[in-house]
Amino acid sequence: MMIPLRDFGSRKIRKRWQLAFRALSFVTSLSKKVAMNSALLLGPAVNRTQSYVSIDMPTTITDPGFLADLDKDSLANLVKDKSFDDLQKFGGTKNLVSMLETDERNGLSCDLGGMKKRVEVFGSNTYKKPPVRSFLSFVVEALKDSTIIILFVCAVLSLGFGIKQHGIKDGWYDGGSIILAIVLVLAVSAISNFKQSRQFTELSSQSSNIEVEVMRDGRRQSVSIYDVVVGDVVCLNTGNHIPADGLFLDGHSMKVDESSMTGESDQVEISEIDNPFLISGTKVMDGYGHMLVTSVGMNTAWGQMMSTITHDVNEETPLQARLNKLTSFIGKVGLLVAFLVLVVLMIRYFTGNTSDDSGRKEFIKGQTNANHVMNSMVGIIAAAVTIIVVAIPEGLPLAVTLTLAYSMKKMMADNALVRKLSACEIMGSATVICTDKTGTLTMNKMLVTEFWFGKESMQLGRSTEIIRPGVLELLQQGVGMNTTGEVHASPTSAFPEISGSPTESAILSWAISDMQVNFQQLKDQNTILQVEPFNSQKKRSAILVRNNDTGVLQLHSKGAAEIVLAMCSTYHARNGMLQAINGDERKQLEAIITDMAARSLRCIAFACKMLNEGSELRTELLQEPGLTLLGFVGLKDPCRPEVKAAVESCRKAGVGIKMITGDNIFTARSIALDCGILKPDEDLNDAVVEGVTFRNYSPEERMERIDRIEVMARSTPFDKLLMVQCLKQKGHVVAVTGDGTNDAPALKEADIGLSMGIQGTEVAKESSDIVILDDNFNSVVTVLKWGRCVYNNIQKFIQFQLTVNVAALVINLVAAISSGSVPLTAVQLLWVNLIMDTLGALALATEQPTDDLMTKKPVGRTEPLITKIMWRNLIAQAVYQVTVLLVLQFRGSSIFGVNKNVKDTLIFNSFVFCQLFNEFNARKLEKKNIFEGILKSRLFLGIVGITVFLQIIMVELLQRFASTERLNWGQWAACIGIAVVSWPIGWLVKCIPVTRKQE
């Protein structure tokens, strides 16, 4: 067909050519895929002859541009408004699946171009975040500090009067030095806070990046929540967060908690007819199913709400709150001292008791001019204000921030994602850890090792040869249909891909290899009518299925062996005949379960019940007794090899370990013995208890027994919560591990909640403070060690910081009262404040955890922040520094034969080096060997080196700025010698025993 050139450019013609080109491209690409893997895409639909290849084409060839023609606003409002009218406009859920060019069963194709197109048309599943605070905002925040404002006013006055009195060439030094010091303090403070803000924002973003299971290319895949697109089919299970707005496709017994959006605490039932709307940000509390994603990111109500929420990256932890009180108290003491210094200096000045460098009185009534008086007043006020600055330990909050930020980063490398800052420090005080078994103490690699058919043990791999076909069919149906896992035939592997929980995956793998289950055939032959999902309270699941050919109704139950057995009245013998379960038969079957449990096997039972074709469908039907036992499987999940050493480490650290599991008492006892939680020689009757027994204790009996209980078997989430509450009432600081939705109450109630990153549900993770990324108990112990390290590092810095504060306050106060001048100027004290607060905090806050931390008893709830040991070390060093520096103040000139300026420089230099050497003492609060592990602390040594270099620059090159004089080699040696004495003093002081409180 010839097309005139003038028409070729028309939109209509151009669109036809595009459609033709796309159709040809589609055929070409499809034929290539068929040639590569015909079984995967079209199976028997490809017919080859000698002359041609015929392909069964889809009934409609979709235009990739077709997505752009959808009314995106209506699509977005569909779920937000829960509008059935809008849903009807789209032709219902099934038609919307076609319009979004997806497949209800197989999901989307993993075509990057198609995914990109969907993101361009519908947006990505990300939210607009509030703007990140700029560096300038942190500078402005630092400028609001009242002491900085007062110092700045003093600096401006000093600058003005200095220039007026001495001219601009020499008059700017005093005021300019103070301004420069203020700028340095502001810069360090702002940079530090800015960096921590960025780091916390990054960690927050990382904790929000959860994995979501979607169907793509016909199989279940895990993708980031940020990669979910419109048209995706998402797999939802109990405990999952709903990642986007969408519509319910299929599933059973799904209930959703919409309180995060509506505020209503009641769970909403989801169904295809009555309520198919699934809202982003809500939680699946029961059941499972699939949903079609209709809108993502900012097009959802959750996205719009999240974009308005600002996360507080400056969260105040309990330790920071305690330190703020301490800082406030010290600040008040500093304010009092500064006021006394101000009053004393004023009185001495106006009474003529102060003299200048030439020895003349600074103030003579009626002779001294106003400018000189104002200059003197500014100097006196600056000295008093500077005392306030050096007295207030601003470094304490900074040290906490640095320690928390550093430990959070390091803990991430050790498989622990900290969601709440306070958890870092509280974990250091933990006295009890309540831990799960599966995946935490064990390897979470389930494998079916035994199969019992009735009372007979079957050899794995030969079950289908021995069991009669009719019974085998029932067993295959119970295993293959009553599951939340999925099996996908992999084109690249002989064995299918299996997805689901470790227990489900192990059973499905056994079903394929031993029971020869054909899952696709089962799904085609049977229809699921009702489902009772598994949860931690019932410890069983049940389904009602109908055979599509015969119409027969069959009830299948699966779960904890003793619970399923209790519902059974008959079982199948080897010959396939039904046998009644009488008293003796029941004892024999229970003995089989007990024996398997004693060998650390998790025992799962399968049972069924034939129902009349006309049976009324009701929920109670799935809970009826009178079932027929089909068999037991024993699953082995061996202990992690490193767990025993980790448990022993906790014991040495004075931290109790309590295992809380849903397994029966025999399995729980066996695993606890393997892990070292129980000792073979201890009284196991007191140490092991079942959940129902613990629950039925009186409150007084629970409190009396709680410390002796080490294992709780057959526990429900309520039992776990009850144990946490009892332990807290007893005064313990409790850490709890959990992975399920029903663990959320216990995780929230605990002082520190630790959720599992692999098998943990999103509800559990949201309720926790720390996510253990590898589900390993060893990582829990690592978190404990880091928590203790945080607390210990803070204590080190408190001791170091308070020594500086006490020494500076006493020296300036005594000197001001006795001589009318302070030996440490405003700039010098600001310099000490800067290097001691910032560099000192950085040096001590980044000390790595050591094994010594796990040999001490936990601090618990009542241990004071400043211990007797810290007071002992602090007072000894402060007394020494004050004594030496006051001797220099009053006798320094005669001892060294120098003038006042050099003497003041010696005091300043000795003071700085005393703090520097005392920093080594602070590394070890109790140990006499302060150099242990020093070579591993490269950052500490680097900071000490930087401080020494900067101090040399201050004394030798910045005389005008720092009001110092150059010192000779002998004077430098004297300063260092004075400082070195702090080491033997620290060693001697640590020989003094300190009584500890009774544990």
- For 714: left if phi > 0, alpha if psi spans -120 to 50, otherwise beta; the answer is left
| Residues 136, 145: Cα–Cα separation, whole Å | 15
Q: Long-range pairs for 706-710 at CB < 8 Å and ≥24 separation?
A: 706/730, 707/656, 709/658, 710/656, 710/657, 710/658, 710/659, 710/672, 710/677, 710/678
- Which one of 245, 257, 436, 637 is the catalytic residue? 436
| Residues 632, 452: Cα–Cα separation, whole Å | 5
Tokens of 804: 């500086």
| Residues 481, 499: Cα–Cα separation, whole Å | 14
Residues with Cβ within 8 Å of residue 507, at least 6 apart in sequence: 448, 479, 483, 485, 604, 633, 635
Residues with Cβ within 8 Å of residue 915, at least 6 apart in sequence: 800, 803, 804, 832, 836, 840
In terms of C-beta density within 10 A (0-12 exposed, 13-18 middle, 19 or more buried), how is residue 292 classed?
buried
- For residue 127, give the DSSP letter: -
Give me the residue label for tokens 């619970």: 563
Q: How far apart are the first and last CA of the chain?
A: 97
Q: Would residue 436 show up in a list of annotated catalytic residues for this protein? A: yes
Query: What's the chain's length in residues?
Result: 999
E-strand ranges in 661-785 read: 688-690, 711-713, 734-738, 752-756, 770-772
Tokens of 866: 């400043």
- Cβ atoms of 156 and 175 within 8 Å: the answer is yes
Tokens of 998: 């009774």
Output Rg (C-alpha) for the chain, integer angstroms: 37
- For residue 775, give the DSSP letter: -
| Residues 735, 773: Cα–Cα separation, whole Å | 16
Residues with Cβ within 8 Å of residue 770, at least 6 apart in sequence: 411, 416, 417, 418, 419, 420, 423, 427, 752, 753, 754, 755, 783
Amino acid in the structure at residue 377: M
**Distance set, CA 62 to CA 22, 465, 774 (Å):** 9, 49, 43
Would you tell me how many other CB atoms lie within 10 Å of the CB of residue 41?
Answer: 16
In terms of C-beta density within 10 A (0-12 exposed, 13-18 middle, 19 or more buried), how is residue 360 classed?
exposed
| Residues 45, 372: Cα–Cα separation, whole Å | 104
Residue in 878, 880, 867, 875 with CA at minimum distance from that of residue 796: 867
Would you tell me how many other CB atoms lie within 10 Å of the CB of residue 211?
Answer: 14
| Residues 751, 956: Cα–Cα separation, whole Å | 53
Give me the residue label for tokens 């932890």: 317
Q: By three-state DSSP, how is residue 387 classified?
A: helix
Residues with Cβ within 8 Å of residue 701, at least 6 apart in sequence: none
- Cβ atoms of 619 and 544 within 8 Å: the answer is no
Q: By three-state DSSP, how is residue 624 classified?
A: coil
Instruction: Please list the active-site residues.
Output: 436
